[in-house]
């Protein structure tokens, strides 16, 4: 079993839809959870950062972490064509020097 | 804030030559810098981690003599692909780690460098 599992998609939705992106993980030591957005041929851009379990909201984006289920989610409300990108989840175990473990990424396509 | 740049953004070279890629943190001092490699439709593969003034730590399977990393300052790290071959063609991305208020380093990524070896 891989440490982080993420459905590669593509996930196609119409503009305005609510999008749900998910990752599962196996390492119970993970405490820090991030979502990155990567446009084609570009570096990943940090979208959301969450520590431990709970929800965090930033504009149209909501990140959820359920450590008991080892499951994290990113919700995008009122999706826009400009949200079309690959979304990578990432997680790490500790503070200070920290190595991130990435999911493979989910490609999202939002059609006008 | 937390901007990371990479240069060049793309490079084409002949087999057997060496290529240097620069990674800079523009508006913060990076305690640690990371180098990744990404193949099409694949996730990021960590190649090595470097701290300023010390030797890089390479991931298993990454040849340290082929991928030379120099971390000269808190804002600059370089990756040199020596004697490049076509199989080294890939998208190379660096990231810089920035200590957050919570005490956790979060990585900010550069835009990537696409290397094509002919």
For B68-79, write each residue's pLDDT tens digit: 999 888 899 999
| pLDDT of amino acid B7 | 96
Residues A55 and A74: beta-carbon distance below 8 Å: no
| pLDDT of amino acid B104 | 53
For A106, the token pair is: 């989910």
What integer best gives the mean pLDDT of chain B? 89
For the ranges A19-28, B10-19, B53-62, the lowest mean pLDDT is seen at: B53-62
Distance CA A60, CA A75 (A): 8
pLDDT(B105) > 70: no
Q: Do B44 and A44 touch (CB under 8 A)?
A: yes
pLDDT(A17) > 90: yes
For A44-98, write each residue's pLDDT tens digit: 998 988 888 889 999 999 999 999 999 999 999 999 999 999 999 999 887 555 6
Between B4, B103, B106, which is nearest A49 by CB? B106
| pLDDT of amino acid B48 | 93
Q: Which of A75, A74, A57 is nearest to A18 (CA)?
A: A75
Between B44, B51, B108, which is nearest A102 by CB? B44
- Counting every residue written for chain A, the total comes to 112
pLDDT(B108) > 80: yes
| pLDDT of amino acid B97 | 83
For B93, the token pair is: 């991305």
| pLDDT of amino acid B1 | 65
Q: How many angstroms separate the Cα of A68 from the Cα of each of A53, A56, A108, B94?
A: 8, 17, 27, 33
Closest chain B residue to A104 measured between Cα atoms?
B43
Closest chain A residue to B4 measured between Cα atoms?
A43
Q: Do B106 and A43 touch (CB under 8 A)?
A: no
Closest chain A residue to B32 measured between Cα atoms?
A97
């Amino acid at each position: 079993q891989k440490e982080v599992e993420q459905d590669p998609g593509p996930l196609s939705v119409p503009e305005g839809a609510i999008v749900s992106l998910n990752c599962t993980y196996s390492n119970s030591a993970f405490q820090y959870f991030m979502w990155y957005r990567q446009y084609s041929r570009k570096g990943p851009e940090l979208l959301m950062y969450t520590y431990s379990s709970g929800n965090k909201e930033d504009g149209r984006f909501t990140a959820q972490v359920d450590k008991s289920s080892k499951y994290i989610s990113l919700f995008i409300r009122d999706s826009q064509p400009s949200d079309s990108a690959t979304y990578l989840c990432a997680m790490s175990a500790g503070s200070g020097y920290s190595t991130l473990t990435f999911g493979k990424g989910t490609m999202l396509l939002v059609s006008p | 804030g937390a901007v990371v740049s990479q240069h060049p953004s793309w490079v084409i070279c002949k087999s057997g030559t060496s290529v240097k890629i620069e990674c800079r943190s523009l508006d913060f001092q990076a305690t640690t810098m990371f180098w990744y490699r990404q193949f099409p439709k694949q996730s990021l593969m960590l190649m090595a981690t470097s701290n300023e003034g010390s030797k890089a730590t390479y991931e298993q399977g990454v040849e340290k003599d082929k991928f030379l990393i120099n971390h000269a300052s808190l804002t600059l790290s370089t990756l040199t692909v020596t004697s490049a071959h076509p199989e080294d063609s890939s998208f190379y991305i660096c990231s810089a780690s920035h200590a957050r208020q919570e005490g956790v380093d979060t990585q900010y990524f550069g835009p990537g460098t696409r290397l094509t070896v002919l």
